[in-house]
Amino acid sequence: MKTFDGILDEIGGMGRYQILAIFLLALLEIPGAFHNINYVYIGAKQDHFCAPSPELSALNLTKDELRNYTIPYEVKDGTREYMKCGQFRRNYSSIGRNDVQLWLDEYIKENYTQPDDLPIGECSGWLYDTSIYQTTIISEVSIPCT
């Protein structure tokens, strides 16, 4: 019985054919690697919150102002953590810019206490933080709270 080294000596060891075969097989693996790594980017979790009522669009509020005005929060470890899948149910059609500004001024001074009597409802849509990722699977399919 021949040893592995003996057979390798008879067939000639590493040659042009072996190098070509390894190169072609490596080329076939590159697309597979993209699919394995791609989920890091397309499956990333974006920060999100409920989309505000359309009536508030006339007030020209920033994204932060909208979140502060429409989303309830909890204080955890001294910081405010906003609810991801709920928002205050208010009559936004009767609210003006001055009402929102007074509320935001109190909020910024941290004199504001979140009202307990405002009902909290489900989201009808979401806004996503696009500072890192423009879109992900979560934002494209709109399933952040399932």
In whole angstroms, what is the distance from residue 68 CA to residue 89 CA?
14
How confident is the model over 23-69, as pLDDT tens digits? 999 998 988 888 888 888 788 888 888 988 888 888 888 888 888 88
Residue 111 has a pLDDT of 58
In whole angstroms, what is the distance from residue 78 CA to residue 103 CA?
21
Both tokens assigned to 10 = 């008879």
In whole angstroms, what is the distance from residue 60 CA to residue 22 CA?
60
How confident is the model over 67-102, as pLDDT tens digits? 888 888 888 888 888 888 899 888 888 888 788 888
Q: Is the Cβ–Cβ distance between 114 and 73 less than 8 Å?
A: yes
Q: How far is residue 58 CA from its own chain's centroid?
A: 27
Q: Is the Cβ–Cβ distance between 69 and 99 less than 8 Å?
A: no
18-22, 44-48, 112-116: which has the highest mean pLDDT?
Answer: 18-22
Residue 25 has a pLDDT of 93
Residue 22 has a pLDDT of 93
Say yes or no to pLDDT of 127 above 80: yes
Both tokens assigned to 74 = 């909890």
Both tokens assigned to 48 = 């999100």
